[in-house]
């Protein structure tokens, strides 16, 4: 990281030659109680704190064209749309009314930016009680600022008590198909909000492995046409658990995965960050959750599916994992007032940036 000061001779020469330096990246992070932090990634300085009128941010999703960030909030069940160029809120509304409330987390905009697709529950206040709806697929009109279409989630798809809260959403390039990725991939027609297909990834053909489950997807979407995530799996015979990288192609609906090695015992793996050329990956491994907790970075070679190097770092009770826009640094943050920065190749600590705000679980998004 370079400190502000006199420009080096090389930089002056570049300017004299007419070379325009790359634009600095901007980092967006949700924070309590109703703020979106806007940071200059090069310096770590907080440049702005945007107030979200609908309350506490719980998830963020950037559009495929990188021009808008869609934030869902929990305080009043709202949506905030941030323009990445101006770094300002351009649309803000709450779905809740005195007699009607909604509960949802995350979702995906359609390619036009006019509609937001999600899974939600509706709570209606009657004279003597609250009437709770089943889980529903829903379309939120971002112009009318209201839920305009819903369809009940079929019973076989709503048995998970966390339905809608641990679901990853992807949208086809033409906006006609919605993919809900959790224990399986559910393929929905956006016009009718009906499930057209259920693709079982838990028992891939001819692999000798079953019980495959996706983890969280790559936070910075490198390829909007492909869902990439960590996965865990076990063989059907002696139940040995392994981990690897899984890829789901939205166009062909093909699931491809490559096991890397034995899954950590007594812990878990959190998140996956991938280099722009998709050749390197990083994840965080937590060993022994109770009593003797250890946290490690694992640096993966995705061309050979081998671990390049590992390094332990100080654990936090709760944290999230991210990567800088240029792929040179790894971030540990969340449930705290700071970001810990590490070198992506050596996995060594670089510095700690004080944010001045307690960050939420909404994650981070980095734009140019």
Domain range list for the chain: 202-315
User: By the 8 A CB rule, do 92 and 53 touch?
Assistant: yes
How buried is residue 274: exposed, middle or buried, by Cβ count under 10 Å (0-12/13-18/19+)? Answer: buried
Sequential pLDDT tens for the chain (368 residues): 333 333 333 333 333 333 433 457 999 999 999 999 999 999 999 999 999 999 999 999 999 899 999 999 999 999 999 999 999 999 999 999 999 999 998 999 999 999 999 999 999 999 999 999 999 999 999 999 999 999 999 988 876 655 555 688 999 999 999 999 877 889 999 999 999 999 876 555 444 444 455 555 554 446 778 887 777 777 667 777 777 777 888 889 888 777 777 777 666 777 788 888 878 989 888 876 666 788 999 998 888 878 899 999 998 888 889 999 899 999 999 888 999 999 999 999 999 999 999 999 888 999 98
CA end-to-end span of the chain, whole Å?
17
The tokens describing 240, both together, are 């040995």
CB atoms within 10 A of CB 39: 21
| Residue 124, phi then psi, degrees to nearest 5 | -110, 130
Which pTM does this prediction carry? 0.86
In this predicted structure, what is the pLDDT of residue 5? 36
Distance of CA 58 to the CA centre of its chain: 11
In this predicted structure, what is the pLDDT of residue 149? 98
Q: Is the peptide bond before 33 cis (omega within 30 degrees of 0)?
A: yes
How buried is residue 151: exposed, middle or buried, by Cβ count under 10 Å (0-12/13-18/19+)? Answer: middle
Farthest-apart Cα atoms in the chain, separation: 75
338: CB partners within 8 A, 6+ apart: 352, 353, 354, 355
Write down the residue that tokens 């829903």 correspond to.
Answer: 138
* Nearest one of 333, 327, 339 to 302, comparing CA atoms: 327
271: CB partners within 8 A, 6+ apart: 215, 216, 219, 230, 283, 284, 320, 321, 322
């Amino acid at each position: 990281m370079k400190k502000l000061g006199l420009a080096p001779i090389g930089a002056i020469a570049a300017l004299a030659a007419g070379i325009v330096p790359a634009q600095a990246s901007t980092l967006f992070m949700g924070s309590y109680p109703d703020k979106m932090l806007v940071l200059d990634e090069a310096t770590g300085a907080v440049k702005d704190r945007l107030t979200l009128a609908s309350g506490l941010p719980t998830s963020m999703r950037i559009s495929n064209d990188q021009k808008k960030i869609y934030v869902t909030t929990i305080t009043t069940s709202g949506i905030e749309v941030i323009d990445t160029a101006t770094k300002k809120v351009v649309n803000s509304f709450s779905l809740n009314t005195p007699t009607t409330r909604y509960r949802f987390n995350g979702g995906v905009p359609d390619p036009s930016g006019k509609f937001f697709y999600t899974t939600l529950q509706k709570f209606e206040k009657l004279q003597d009680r609250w009437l709770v709806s089943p889980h529903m697929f829903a379309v939120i009109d971002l112009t009318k600022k209201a839920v305009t279409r819903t369809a009940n989630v079929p019973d076989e798809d709503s048995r998970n008590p966390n339905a809608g809260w641990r679901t990853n959403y992807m949208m086809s390039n033409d906006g006609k198909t919605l993919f809900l990725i959790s224990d399986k991939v559910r393929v929905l027609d956006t016009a009718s909000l009906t499930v057209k297909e259920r693709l079982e990834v838990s028992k891939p053909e001819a692999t000798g492995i079953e019980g495959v489950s996706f983890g969280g997807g790559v936070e910075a979407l490198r390829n909007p046409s492909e869902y990439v995530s960590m996965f865990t799996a076990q063989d059907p015979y002696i139940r040995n658990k392994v981990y690897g990288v899984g890829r789901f192609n939205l166009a062909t609906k093909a699931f491809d995965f490559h096991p890397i090695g034995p899954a950590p015992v007594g812990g878990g793996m959190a998140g996956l960050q991938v280099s722009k050329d998709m050749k390197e990956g990083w994840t965080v491994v937590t060993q022994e959750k109770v009593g003797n907790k250890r946290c490690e970075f694992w640096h993966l070679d995705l061309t050979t599916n081998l671990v390049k190097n590992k390094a332990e770092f100080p654990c936090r009770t709760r944290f999230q994992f991210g990567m800088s826009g240029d792929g040179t640094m790894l971030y540990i943050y969340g449930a705290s007032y700071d970001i810990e920065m590490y070198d992506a190749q050596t996995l060594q600590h670089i510095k700690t940036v004080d944010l001045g705000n307690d960050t939420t679980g909404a994650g981070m998004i980095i734009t140019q």
